[in-house]
Amino acid sequence: MSTDIDYSRLKDDLIIEYAKKRLIIEKKAAASNLSEVQRSMSLQMMKSIYTHLNCLESYENANSLDKALDAIDLAKIYESVDRREQEKTNTKLNYDDFVVLELLRYFKHDFFKWVNSPSCPCGSTDVSTVGVKRPDSANNPDQISIIEIHQCQKCHHQIEFPRINNPVSLLRTRTGRCGEWVNCFLLILTALIGEGKDRIRYVWNNEDHVWCEYYSSGLRRWVHLDPCEGVFDETLLYCDNWGKRMSYVIGFNKNSVVDLSKKYITKDKQIDQSSVADPSKVEKVITYYNVKKADDYLTQSKSIYSERESWKALYTDVFVPRNLERGELRTEEEATVSSDLPKGRQTGSVEWTKARGEDG
Ligand SMILES: [Zn+2]
């Protein structure tokens, strides 16, 4: 009698069993919290989570990604990437990490421009905001959220500054504040290293700032990126360097929503979370959407692959990365800010950063 055991099949069986059980348990827990989740959706914080859930979808369009590659100087970027790789000082970094580092530099210094107030055609830069108006909702290809109206203090001419959300339009205008910067940067970053993968993350902060993260295969973790500041892997930039006080920081990638507050907010700069939204309710809302994302992922996989392959993919692409990051966020050592970073926020006027409590 043969006692041969197909270990590879056995391993798959165990993985599939785990994925099935886990999804059932998580769905049950989410169902029992449903009424509480629905009630808390009236809070502004939960609305913000809801609106960002699928924010990465706009970076998945193949046509948009092609346009991003057309808009940048690829030859220049890759030449610098090659040089960085040859000079390699951090042996943990892979080729992709050098692409990200170079894109941060290129985007800030050669591509995008920060704008507080647009300058006046008369040449004066003494321009200030006088109001806002709504865009034409019937015809809004640039996905403009609001149009700021600025006035020249010298010739009194009024200049409109539309706040554009369409990342492809931003490849053309190349101006804005942190929202536009992150929006356009993420499109290019996805085109260079993230197409079809779950390794790009939009990071939203309740105190009016956004940044991003990417999953580094070299460092084997999610790495902080602030395109406006050109800063790589400095999680305490906001609290320690800018002196910014924050309540919540939430990350949104393709397959997960993650509470990153502990990663970015130091104890002394932590705004009491319950003054914004009850932390246990926020946790339940995030859990609810993560269950939904896992379920959607499975449904989508089943429409393409076999039942077995779909459960395996749910395990490998959703559950394993979530488990790894959960462990990582728990054990993360106290990070420190590099001493070579200049103090305070580098983008925006002195008055503006001061008013926002970001002047260090
Ligand atoms: Zn003027």
- Tens of pLDDT along 15-40? 999 999 999 999 999 999 999 999 99
> Residues near 279 by Cβ (< 8 Å), separated by ≥ 6?
273
Q: Is the pLDDT of residue 193 over 80?
A: yes
pLDDT in tens, 95-122: 999 999 999 999 999 999 999 889 999 9
Q: Looking at the structure, give the CATH architecture of the domain made up of residues 11-116+177-355.
A: Roll (3.10)
Q: What is the pLDDT of residue 352?
A: 66
| Mean per-residue pLDDT, 311-315 | 97
Q: What is the pLDDT of residue 2?
A: 57
Query: 357 pLDDT band (50/70/90 cuts)?
Result: confident
Has 157 been annotated as catalytic? no
> Residues near 121 by Cβ (< 8 Å), separated by ≥ 6?
157, 159
| Mean per-residue pLDDT, 162-185 | 96
Structure tokens at 209: 């700032």
Give the active site residue among 209, 228, 233, 240: 209
Greatest extent of the chain over all pairs of C-alpha atoms, in Å: 96
pLDDT in tens, 329-348: 766 554 555 656 777 777 77
Q: What is the pLDDT of residue 194?
A: 87
Q: What is the pLDDT of residue 335?
A: 52
Task: Look at the chain and count its residues.
Answer: 360
Q: Do domains 11-116+177-355 and 117-165 have the same CATH topology?
A: no
Give the active site residue among 226, 233, 240, 259: 226
- The percent of residues in the chain predicted with pLDDT above 70, rounded, is 94
Measured in angstroms, how far is the CA atom of residue 117 from the centroid of ligand 1?
12
Has 209 been annotated as catalytic? yes
CATH of domain 117-165: 2.20.25.10
Chain mean pLDDT for the chain: 92
d(CA 127, CA 118): 7
pLDDT in tens, 256-308: 999 999 999 999 999 999 999 999 999 999 999 999 999 999 999 999 999 99
Has 226 been annotated as catalytic? yes
| Mean per-residue pLDDT, 208-226 | 95
Residue 92 CB burial class (10 angstroms; 0-12, 13-18, ≥19): exposed
The verdict on ipTM greater than 0.85 is yes
Measured in angstroms, how far is the CA atom of residue 121 from the centroid of ligand 1?
6
Measured in angstroms, how far is the CA atom of residue 150 from the centroid of ligand 1?
10
Cα angle at 164 between 159 and 167, to 5 degrees?
145
Domain ranges of the chain: 11-116+177-355, 117-165
Give the active site residue among 120, 178, 184, 212: 178
pLDDT in tens, 33-65: 999 999 999 999 999 999 999 999 989 999 999
Q: Are strands 249-253 and 200-205 parallel, antiparallel or unpaired?
A: antiparallel
The residue type found at 61 is N
Smallest Cα–Cα separation from 217: which of 92, 57, 309? 92
Does residue 109 contact residue 230 with C-beta atoms inside 8 Å?
A: yes
| Mean per-residue pLDDT, 213-217 | 95
The residue type found at 250 is I
Query: 165 pLDDT band (50/70/90 cuts)?
Result: very high
